[in-house]
Amino acid sequence: MSQCKYQYPQDAKSKCLHPIWPTDSKYCIFHSEHPNKKEEFDRYFLSELGSNKFRRGEVHDFRGFVFPPGTEIKRTNFDKRVWFDNARFQGNFYISDNCNFLGPIRFVDLEFLQPDTGRSIILDGCVFNQGLSFKALKKPKFEMGSLSICNCNITGRLEILKITFNGDFSITERWGSNTEGHISKVTFNGNVALCDECFSGGVSLEDIRFGKSSMVIFGDRAFSNRTYFSGIEFPENLNLGEKVFSGNVTFAFIQFNSLVEASKFDCSNPISLTLVTFSKGFSFLNARLDNSMDFVGCEFYDICNFAGVTIESPDKLQFTSNCYFHTPSYFSNIHTSRENQLSFERASFGRVPKFVEIS
Ligand SMILES: [Zn+2]
């Protein structure tokens, strides 16, 4: 029986080790795009998942496989790294029910063959011991429907790079170890939900686009370690949990289109905001700063309220490099114990802010 003719896009030397499937003239059952292969595919694929059948050296190699709609991998232990590079999906794809990944697992340059039906990946109740990545490397980007990561334990890095989600993106009921999030050049056209303490190992979100009607929910302490946000315009419907930012926070080139309040920050860590636009106001009413908060070149289009804020010594609340207050803003009853704990350097006041005694 002759071998499958599948050509690995980034690896001309590798050959598929499986025989041509008699129903297909060229490819094995795993690489065949035949629309009616599900029953046979499941029989050959699911029974030997964790075995040597799909092993290539140190990898469980599912590159270029064409997965029929509703393929579900369950209760399997993968002791090596797992590659789904260039995998193609004819519908939804599930990994669930106590699958255990000892090595890293990656989904690179995926393709969804029936764009109007199932386009989603659902990971439910699994353990990822060395991280998980979804990214476009050779393709400029890839588009998919939803990604749902539910009730999973992810240790290490969760990386999402150059993907457009036309459905929802959610990480819910995460449990266990430190997850470090790196999400970059991603478009979310659906809703986004990240659970409480989602990224306890730190997070960077860079170059993120949201659909106009997207709803975004970040749970309590969702970002409980280092947080770096850059190049993001949040939609109007943004729901932030309590102390959602509870580690060091750096924001650069961010636009908030909803009111941002003090309760969203754990102010015992440094908070740095550069070129951040607050379209709907910023309220730090009666908050206590146990660390410094620096606004650099930020713009406040609606009321900025720092009334009653207590700044612990020697911390500072600083507005530098042409921060601009477009509407009257409140800095009354600021409590400081030393001079210069509140400072304005070249700040511009479109309309005079209401400074009242600084005690
Ligand atoms: Zn093949």
Residue 298 Cα, ligand 1 centroid: separation in angstroms? 55
In the predicted model, is pLDDT for residue 48 greater than 90? no
Surrounding residues of ion ligand 1, Cβ less than 5 A: 4, 6, 16, 18, 28, 31
- Flag whether 222 is in a domain: no
pLDDT of residue 116: 62
Residue 6 Cα, ligand 1 centroid: separation in angstroms? 5
Residue 139 Cα, ligand 1 centroid: separation in angstroms? 22
In the predicted model, is pLDDT for residue 191 greater than 70? yes
Residue 54 Cα, ligand 1 centroid: separation in angstroms? 11
Residue 62 Cα, ligand 1 centroid: separation in angstroms? 10
Q: How many CB atoms lie within 10 A of CB 43?
A: 10
Residue whose C-alpha is closest to residue 8's, from 141, 138, 95: 138
pLDDT of residue 177: 75
- Flag whether 276 is in a domain: yes
Residue 18 Cα, ligand 1 centroid: separation in angstroms? 5
- Flag whether 355 is in a domain: yes
Helices and strands counted in the chain (H then E): 1, 39
Residue 27 Cα, ligand 1 centroid: separation in angstroms? 5
Residue 68 Cα, ligand 1 centroid: separation in angstroms? 15
Distances 37 to 26, 43, 90 between C-alpha atoms, Å:
14, 10, 11
Percentage of residues of the chain with pLDDT beyond 90? 79
pLDDT of residue 355: 58
Residue 160 Cα, ligand 1 centroid: separation in angstroms? 27
Q: How confident is the model at residue 357 (pLDDT cuts 50, 70, 90)?
A: very low
Residue 20 Cα, ligand 1 centroid: separation in angstroms? 7
Q: How confident is the model at residue 261 (pLDDT cuts 50, 70, 90)?
A: very high
Residue 219 Cα, ligand 1 centroid: separation in angstroms? 43
In the predicted model, is pLDDT for residue 359 greater than 60? no
- Flag whether 168 is in a domain: no
Residue 340 Cα, ligand 1 centroid: separation in angstroms? 69
Lowest mean pLDDT among 88-92, 161-165, 353-357: 353-357
In the predicted model, is pLDDT for residue 330 greater than 80? yes
How many structural domains comprise the chain?
1
- Flag whether 337 is in a domain: yes
Residue 13 Cα, ligand 1 centroid: separation in angstroms? 14
- Flag whether 173 is in a domain: no
Residue 63 Cα, ligand 1 centroid: separation in angstroms? 9
124, 96 contact by CB (below 8 A):
yes
Residue 88 Cα, ligand 1 centroid: separation in angstroms? 13
pLDDT of residue 4: 96
**Domain membership of residue 348 as a residue range:** 260-359
Residue 104 Cα, ligand 1 centroid: separation in angstroms? 23
- Flag whether 283 is in a domain: yes
Residue 12 Cα, ligand 1 centroid: separation in angstroms? 14
Residue 66 Cα, ligand 1 centroid: separation in angstroms? 10
| Residue carrying structure tokens 């292969």 | 37
Residue 73 Cα, ligand 1 centroid: separation in angstroms? 19
| Residue carrying structure tokens 């729901």 | 239
What 8-state DSSP symbol labels residue 54?
Answer: G
Residue 92 Cα, ligand 1 centroid: separation in angstroms? 21
- Flag whether 333 is in a domain: yes
Cis ω for the linkage preceding 104 (within 30 of 0): no
In sequence order, what E strands does 88-195 have?
A: 88-89, 93-96, 100-101, 105-108, 111-112, 121-124, 127-128, 132-135, 142-144, 147-150, 153-154, 156-161, 163-165, 169-172, 179-188, 192-194
pTM: 0.94
Residue 37 Cα, ligand 1 centroid: separation in angstroms? 14
Over range 66-73, report the average pLDDT.
95
In the predicted model, is pLDDT for residue 57 greater than 80? yes
The pair phi, psi for residue 41, each rounded to 5°, is -60, -50
pLDDT digits (tens, 9 = 90+) for 2-26: 899 999 988 889 999 899 999 999 9
pLDDT of residue 117: 63
Q: How confident is the model at residue 236 (pLDDT cuts 50, 70, 90)?
A: very high
pLDDT digits (tens, 9 = 90+) for 88-122: 999 999 999 999 999 999 999 999 887 566 789 99
Residue 107 Cα, ligand 1 centroid: separation in angstroms? 18
pLDDT digits (tens, 9 = 90+) for 309-321: 999 988 999 999 9
pLDDT of residue 350: 73
